[in-house]
Amino acid sequence: MRNRLSFLGFLFIGLAACGDSETGTTSSTSTSTGGGNGGEGNGGAGGAGGGSGGMSSGGAGGGSGGGMAGEVGNASQAEGLYFPPGAVWYEDISNAPVSPESGAITAWMEGFNPPNGWGTGVMKVDFSIVAVDVPAGTAKRSFQTVDGYYYVPDCDNAPVPVPAGGAVEETYGTPTDFSGPFTGYNCYGFPDGADCHMLFVSRSEKRLYEIYHATIDSSDAFHAGCLAVWDISQVYGPDGRGQQCTSADAAGFPIAPLLFTAEEIQAGEINHAIRFILPNNMVRAKKYVYPATHGTNTTGPQTSIPYGARLRLRKDYPINTLSPAAQVVAKALQKYGMLHADGGQIALTAQSDVLSDVKWAAVGFDANSLNALKATDFEVLDFGTPIDVTYDCQRMQITQ
């Protein structure tokens, strides 16, 4: 997701990682020229940054070194509302106006990437990203920044609370290793430039820590690319963390609030928008719209969506043709829609069940449950005038 010049190098990784498995890898492809993130992987997670292109070898550059942290309790899955109800990802868009470009855009998507217009041709779901709930009192760890992934002022450099028993985003379908207190944070795809997202929700601090391209390796060294610290007591306005500023996703907004969970399927209701991914060549060239604050070196035509666009499943879609679990997601797509967040191959992102007692298999939902949905089954909501991507981020970096 982040390097703004290295699209071809990372595209190879993203395509190699892409597949039909329920838990995929999200290798990134960067495509920007300044700081910020761009990315293209099968889980669609973008990274933060920009600058140097090419695949990261996991080398560290700058920042404070990471040491062993103390332990207070164990990690668990984060879920529920993260921000106040007024946040944009909780907005009911059932009756929001449709863009006059909607029909042309969705028709182009299907024609460009048949049969149904998504990154893999059909709508698939990735289950690799984990949001970790942080117990109060968890010790914080500093980290060493990673060359090519850490950009100032886009990325923050504050110590991160890392509870024992948590996990990083899964890569290459490799099961999470829980043999030690922090072994679950070792990202196997890190040396290859995989997205390796780490998400931590610290409700006692009212903070959400999201990192693109992070690992705690076998020597217990903590390496991190772009950290975005969010105040979860705040409703962010159109500027988010700053215009032209990236986050742990290329669009500049947070990841965790957009992940749907097996618990939500079990409960029968999803109360938020869903994270949505498309390849960079299917996204309008170097444009973004609210709620995005950032875009990448995308190469799509005028008939493609800009970064940050919101799509809504049509009211007349026959959701009764879907499985019961898929109907829960479809109803959320009708009421809250999906927000374009990053470049990649797999259209939607759900939260991993690795820290959950409720498993995806148990609720009857898998990577192919939404295969029937076509781009023309959706409406692109009115997005106003797109903003040119300049990567000129202006914000105060958080260091504590």
For residue 350, what are the β-bridge partners?
Answer: 260
Beta-carbon contacts of 216 under 8 Å, excluding residues fewer than 6 positions away, are 66, 162, 168, 182, 185, 186, 222, 223
Residue 107 DSSP class: H
Q: Which two tokens stand for residue 374?
A: 């076509």
Residue 290, C-beta contacts closer than 8 angstroms, at least 6 positions apart: 88, 238, 308, 383, 384
Residue 231 lies in a domain: yes
CA 279, chain centre distance (Å): 13
Question: Rounded to whole angstroms, how far apart are CA atoms 310 and 353?
Answer: 26
Q: Would you say residue 217 lies in a domain?
A: yes
Sign of CA dihedral 263, 187, 276, 317: negative
**Interatomic CA distance for residues 34 and 52, integer angstroms:** 9
Q: Structural domain of residue 231, as residue ranges? A: 7-58+78-388
The number of domains in the chain is 1
The reply to whether 355 falls in a domain is yes
Q: What is the DSSP string of 285-349?
A: EEEE-TT--------B-TTSEEET-EEEE-TT--GGGS-HHHHHHHHHHHHT-EEEEEEBS-SEE
Q: pLDDT tens across 142-162, in order?
A: 999 999 999 999 999 999 999
**Residue 53: what pLDDT?**
29
Give, as one character, the DSSP assignment of residue 57. Answer: -
Handedness of CA 85, 91, 94, 97 (dihedral sign): positive
Task: Report H helices in 189-322.
Answer: 262-267
State how far the alpha carbon of 12 is from the alpha carbons of 112, 117, 177, 241, in Å: 20, 21, 26, 31
Contacts of residue 93, defined as CB under 8 A and 6 or more positions apart, other chains included, come to 273, 310, 312, 335, 336, 337, 381
Q: Is residue 194, in this structure, part of any structural domain at all?
A: yes
Confirm whether 1 is domain-assigned.
no
Q: What's the pLDDT score for residue 176?
A: 95
Looking at residue 69, what DSSP letter applies? -
Flag whether 63 is in a domain.
Answer: no
For residue 65, is it within any domain?
A: no
- Residue 160 is given by DSSP the state E
pLDDT value for 29? 35
Task: Write down the pLDDT at residue 304.
Answer: 99
Is 51 within a domain? yes
pLDDT of residue 2: 43
Specify the pLDDT at position 124: 99
Closest CA to 9 of 26, 23, 27: 27
Structure token pair of residue 339: 């927000």
* Residue stretches of the chain with pLDDT short of 50: 1-73
Q: Give per-residue pLDDT as tens, 160-185.
A: 999 999 999 999 999 999 999 999 99
Contact criterion met (CB below 8 Å) for 127 and 44: no
The candidate with the shortest Cα–Cα distance to 88, out of 254, 280, 314, 213, is 254
Cβ atoms of 325 and 332 within 8 Å: the answer is no
Give the model confidence (pLDDT) of 188-237 as tens digits.
999 999 999 999 999 999 999 999 999 999 999 999 999 999 999 999 99
